Amino acid sequence: MRWSEGMAEGGGRRSRTIALMCLAAVSMAAIAQSQPSPAPRYTVVLDAAHGGDDAGGHSGTPSGTPDGYWAEKDTTLAMSVRLRSLLAARGIAVVTTREDDTNVDRVRRDELANHANAQACITLHASLSGRGVHLFTSPLAPAQPARMQPWSTAQAPWVNRSLALAGVMNSALQHAGLNVTLGRTALPVVDSMACPAIAIEMSPEGGASSASGHSPVDSLNDAGYQARVADAIAAAIVEWRSSGSGAGAGQP
């Protein structure tokens, strides 16, 4: 019958088409397997704390004399921009939580950090109190990684690596001649980060009552001091990468 012959002819053409498509798919898979997979990017998250209507620590009033006003959000953003340039020049991918004077929600900061699958997450702060640079890690007790980790304690499986990162950072800052204080404190932003995470707080180099005559505000606004701290942090991250600590990104 003509109808059945047409059906048989159409069925054969369809079978050949399907066979060709399968062959093409298998070839592409083979080609993909033969090519080496790209090396995972070494990523660092920089979180400039505060921003927008959240000035953080501040001194004076914005409407007063410009020289006397200081806001933590400005110093953290300036340090984030400096560090981003220094790290990018060393071939390190940088994810920042803010690029301008905007207030980013705390949860959004953690979402950005956790999606980046980063080898180091650094939250930047500044304060007129204290002296030198303060390094803080989460006080959470180390925990075994689990498939479902609570958001508020996502840092727990990473605490040991965060302490190791703080140690590397401490060495680099000391090498730069800076006074360093190590501590552990509960910061919700750090506690929810699923990566080696530390908070770095920059304080006046000589303390609140500097013998050099510089006020704490002058010290924090000093471009030379900011550059020294940023250089030391960048050197620490390079050291952290070269030590192989970034090999297990995404795994505590």
Partner 1 sequence: MIPRYQTVLFVVLLAASVIMTALLWRQLDRAHQRMLEGQNSAPTQAPLVAPAEPATLMVASDGDGSLQPRVLSLPLPSLEANPGARARAILGRLLDLYAAPDSAHPVPGGARSVEQVFLLPEPPRGSDLPAAAARDSQTGPELAVVNLSGSFAANHPSGIETETLTLMSICATLHANLPRIESVRFLVDGQQRDTLAGHADLTRTYLTSQNVPAEEVTR
Minimum distance, C-beta of residue 207 to partner 1, in the bound complex (Å)? 6
Give, in degrees to the nearest 5, the angle at Cα 230 between 224 and 233.
145
**Closer of 120 and 126 to partner 1 (Cβ):** 126
User: Binding string, 7-46, against partner 1, x = CB under 8 A?
Assistant: ----------------------------------------
Instruction: Give the type of residue at 188.
Output: P
For residue 93, what are the β-bridge partners? Answer: 43
- The region of 34-42, 94-102, 201-209, 235-243 touching partner 1 under the rule CB under 8 A is 201-209
**3-state SS assignment for residue 119:** coil
Question: Hey, what long-range contacts does 248-251 have (CB within 8 A, 24 or more apart)?
Answer: 249/40, 249/43, 249/117, 249/118, 249/119, 249/195, 250/117, 251/145
128 neighbors 216 (Cβ within 8 angstroms)? yes
Q: Is 180 in the site for partner 1 (CB under 8 A)?
A: yes
Distance CA 183, CA 219 (A): 23
* Nearest alpha-carbon partner for 126 in 221, 202, 217: 202
- The region of 34-42, 53-61, 84-92, 218-226 touching partner 1 under the rule CB under 8 A is 53-61
Query: Which member of 20, 22, 208, 247 binds partner 1 (CB under 8 A)?
Result: 208
Per CB under 8 A, which of residues 133..162 are in contact with partner 1?
Answer: 134, 136, 139
Query: Which member of 41, 54, 217, 221 binds partner 1 (CB under 8 A)?
Result: 54
Interacting residues toward partner 1 by CB under 8 A? 50, 54, 56-58, 72, 125-131, 134, 136, 139, 170, 174, 177-188, 191, 199, 201, 203, 207-208
